[in-house]
Structure 1
């Protein structure tokens, strides 16, 4: 039976607000007709009214109807028959959408409830996913938050504008996967002067952060089934990136002298890569002793293995100058050095770097070309100038003093106001410190309660590997407390709330 009223195929702007560009009338009509076709309200072969009649019925111009019909016809939803008019196509281009996208329930699941198929790589990666709380604005005591108020963003904006005002060929058509020469040269100079790294600019590769650096290392050096040794405890994000390669991630215990190198002999086969934070374990803050550094380098040479040195925030050491790198001791080119600017400057900069042994540079350059090419050349240019004009060194020196004062203040709060419930664990730098919980308190439950109180504390035990060997140390129950991003008065107020919450639970 012929239909006389087609007003239902022309949704109002409010009804059709989910579609982009729906402020135009022809788009609203297009979406209305297409939806009616896909959900079965308009049937294959059904004739639509003439454009003049439909326009009059809907109170819109005939041009609007003609434009919508033309678009639907070009995409295969309608077909025209000479002398007969426009009809719903008998074979639709995405007919299957009726049992897919348009059959989804309110939760986004399809009607047949098929399980989502992920790759083995994604499944391995997600098994290590750590679900820390996410706040829209950084809250005390987030361990990865620098003081953003103290960063010279006005200066940074000027450098960005200057780098783009008269861009050279390296910015407009970047073609070197290693990154911009100026920035690589400045990084190499800084690392030689402050960290004792043996390198030149040709060994430096700019990446979009430490996670990408680890991903590139795994792609270049690891086959499925190979063993990668990581520190236990350690940063969960490292394990997830490495597991995606198909490697077997094996935890190696960390004690007061850092990574227990003897544990590398207990893996089922020699590890292909060891990922370590010798300057300061994350999160404990322990430093790898000289004896163990030398033993680790010898182990890598004997087993044809590689060491990834993750030096995430070693510019901030408060009990002396920054420690010399493990890479600086390496005489056999077995160490890949990784650094990032997320904590020294601000997280949104999304830039880091690799210092590669010379023999690995061609391989990493080639692999990088298939990944994302070159990261943010304009930002690289601004950062190169930030280094070259002395701003980076000045900022680090200023923040080292400021963070040191805040660290001392937080330690004082713990030792004077809460010695019955917390004890400070030794560490000489970084943007956070660890405090052990006294008594038999569950730090994971504590984390949940502190989140409810608006505090972004991390449970220390959550950084220990889930699948542990029988002889591994028992996870330490405590809190990881960041101090860098907040003034002393904020730290004091927040610490009072923290202690109230802990005492209430205990």
Structure 2
């Protein structure tokens, strides 16, 4: 017997998943009929009332019903028969997902509890995910955080507008995976002048940041089972990106002279890639000595290995000009140089670069075409103009002076108020200092207490490769304290809270 009441297919309220669209009458009716079909209340082959009759019974316009029926028919939920009306389709697009389900609510619960099957690549990467706290707004003493108040955003906005006001073909249809020629040329000039990098524009590839640079390196040069040597302690994000390739990430100890090159002989097989921060280890701040730089270059040549030089914030050196790069010493083209603008400008710019040995240019160009093509060309054009008109160099000089003053202030606070609590480790630059905790303090405990007090803190022990509790306690206990983003008064107040927390 045909149904006489269809009020239940026209819900008075929408579900939360489609509030904006389903708030119109025809969408509400569409969702009501679709849901009834999928949960079995309307059966395959069942005839629906004529549009005029359904509209009258529901108190809505006939156009609303007709529009809903048309949409359901186009998606395959309904079928029309000339002279007979509209029927529930006998072959439903979503019915296959419902087949074999004995109880819908029980199955839904099972689906929620069942974990998705992840790739081995994802599992390897997630094993290294960051375990640091995250604040919506940067808080003292978050490292790697620049002073956004010091960046000329008004000027930046003008450059963006100018680049888009009369865009050329490179901006509207970018076709070179290496990036815009203007920006690559400016980066090459800057690196030659400030870092002693031996390069020209054709070797520069623009990427969306250092993480993507490392991902491209792994795709191009690493096979599953290859050994990649990384600094210990070091930035955890590096390990996660490289481990996703199936490589064996092997930690190499860092001491006061930087990476222990002799530790490379301890890897299971000779390392395919060595990732190093010669100018300044993150987080310790130590610099790779000249003797070890030469030894590392010789080792790479002897073992057909590649060196990735991660030069993340070397523009900010306070006790002299920036150090020359490892790449500048390389006579055998074994060094891949990586840089980023996230710290020198602002994190949201999402631009970095690779300087490639000539033999790798065509390979990386081809691989990049299958990744994301090229970062937003409008931003690249604005950054190229930022360089070409001298704004980049001016900004670096201004911020180097400002950061140097704040660094000196934080060092004074430690020396005057916390010399019995913290011992500063030698470092001549960067956006943070690293200080050992004295008298048996547990740095993870201090970090957790500081987070509770709305202070962003990094425990030194968390940067080491082995996170097991039995090994963690043997690592140096310390704090990684950023200073660049905050005024002296803010640093003083927050440092007072740090002392109270550490002495509690």
Tell whether the structures are fold-level matches, with TM greater than 0.5: yes
Moved more, 330-339 or 91-100: 91-100
Contact 2:14 2:22 in 1 (8 A): no
Moved more, 58-67 or 286-295: 58-67
Q: Does 1:227 align with 2:247?
A: no
Contact 1:316 1:431 in 2 (8 A): yes
Contact 2:141 2:481 in 1 (8 A): yes
Within a 5 Å distance, the mapping from 1:15-414 to structure 2 comes to 15=15, 18-98=18-98, 110-111=110-111, 113-414=113-414
> For 1:110 and 1:137, how far apart are their aligned partners in 2?
38
Q: Does 1:444 align with 2:444?
A: yes
User: C-alpha offsets along residues 314-344 of structure 1, whole Å, 9 cap, x if unaligned?
Assistant: 0000111100000000000000000000000
SS in 2 for 1:182: helix
Moved more, 55-64 or 380-389: 55-64
- Shift of residue 80, structure 1, vs aligned partner: 2.2
> For 2:392 and 2:467, how far apart are their aligned partners in 1?
41
> For 2:14 and 2:50, how far apart are their aligned partners in 1?
27
- Shift of residue 421, structure 1, vs aligned partner: 2.0
SS in 1 for 2:476: coil
- Shift of residue 3, structure 1, vs aligned partner: 3.3
Contact 1:276 1:310 in 2 (8 A): yes
> For 1:451 and 1:280, how far apart are their aligned partners in 2?
27
User: C-alpha offsets along residues 245-287 of structure 1, whole Å, 9 cap, x if unaligned?
Assistant: 1111000000000000000011111000000000000010000
Q: 1:131 to 1:46 in 2, by over 3 A?
A: farther
> For 1:166 and 1:325, how far apart are their aligned partners in 2?
38
> For 2:82 and 2:134, how far apart are their aligned partners in 1?
60
- Shift of residue 441, structure 1, vs aligned partner: 2.3
Q: 1:16 to 1:49 in 2, by over 3 A?
A: farther
Question: What is the aligned partner in structure 1 of residue 475 from structure 2?
Answer: 475
Contact 2:30 2:68 in 1 (8 A): yes
Q: 1:423 to 1:471 in 2, by over 3 A?
A: closer
Q: 1:502 to 1:472 in 2, by over 3 A?
A: closer
Contact 2:14 2:23 in 1 (8 A): no
Question: What is the aligned partner in structure 2 of residue 434 from structure 1?
Answer: 434
Contact 2:14 2:28 in 1 (8 A): no
Q: 1:491 to 1:98 in 2, by over 3 A?
A: farther
SS in 1 for 2:21: coil
> For 2:215 and 2:416, how far apart are their aligned partners in 1?
44
> For 2:380 and 2:218, how far apart are their aligned partners in 1?
24
Q: 1:206 to 1:421 in 2, by over 3 A?
A: same
Q: 1:14 to 1:401 in 2, by over 3 A?
A: same
SS in 2 for 1:275: strand
Question: What is the aligned partner in structure 2 of residue 494 from structure 1?
Answer: 494
Contact 1:257 1:287 in 2 (8 A): yes
**Number of aligned residues:** 501
SS in 1 for 2:436: strand
Contact 1:208 1:375 in 2 (8 A): yes
- Shift of residue 4, structure 1, vs aligned partner: 3.1
User: C-alpha offsets along residues 86-137 of structure 1, whole Å, 9 cap, x if unaligned?
Assistant: 222222101244489x95889x864484331111111110111112212111
- Shift of residue 84, structure 1, vs aligned partner: 3.0
- Shift of residue 345, structure 1, vs aligned partner: 0.1
> For 1:182 and 1:20, how far apart are their aligned partners in 2?
44
- Shift of residue 361, structure 1, vs aligned partner: 0.4
- Shift of residue 409, structure 1, vs aligned partner: 0.8
Structure 1: where are the runs of 5+ without partners?
A: none
Contact 1:140 1:456 in 2 (8 A): yes
Q: 1:366 to 1:486 in 2, by over 3 A?
A: same
Q: 1:418 to 1:467 in 2, by over 3 A?
A: closer
- Shift of residue 17, structure 1, vs aligned partner: 6.1
Q: What is the root-mean-square deviation of aligned Cα atoms in Å?
A: 2.1
